């Protein structure tokens, strides 16, 4: 799992790009979808904005 801390501006941009919501958010999560031949235990990405909450 990747955990990333972002500011409000980046949270807003990611939320608009991936969810169509024109505002910042406190948490975004993205699952990792590996091809069948990849056997790594990867979970995905977690984006956190501590200014929003």
pLDDT tens-digit series, residues 27-53 = 999 998 888 888 877 889 999 999 997
The DSSP letter of residue 36 is T
Diameter of the chain by CA atoms?
Answer: 39
CA distance 31 to 2: 10
The confidence score (pLDDT) of residue 41 equals: 79
More confident residue, 21 or 1: 21
In degrees and rounded to multiples of 5, residue 14 shows phi and psi of: -65, -40
Report the predicted TM-score, pTM, of the whole model to 2 decimal places.
0.81
More confident residue, 4 or 53: 4
């Amino acid at each position: 799992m990747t955990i990333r801390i972002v500011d409000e501006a980046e949270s807003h941009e990611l939320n608009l790009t991936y969810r169509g919501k024109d505002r910042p958010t406190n948490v975004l999560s993205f699952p990792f979808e590996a091809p069948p031949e990849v056997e790594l235990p990867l979970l995905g990405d977690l984006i956190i904005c501590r200014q929003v909450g």
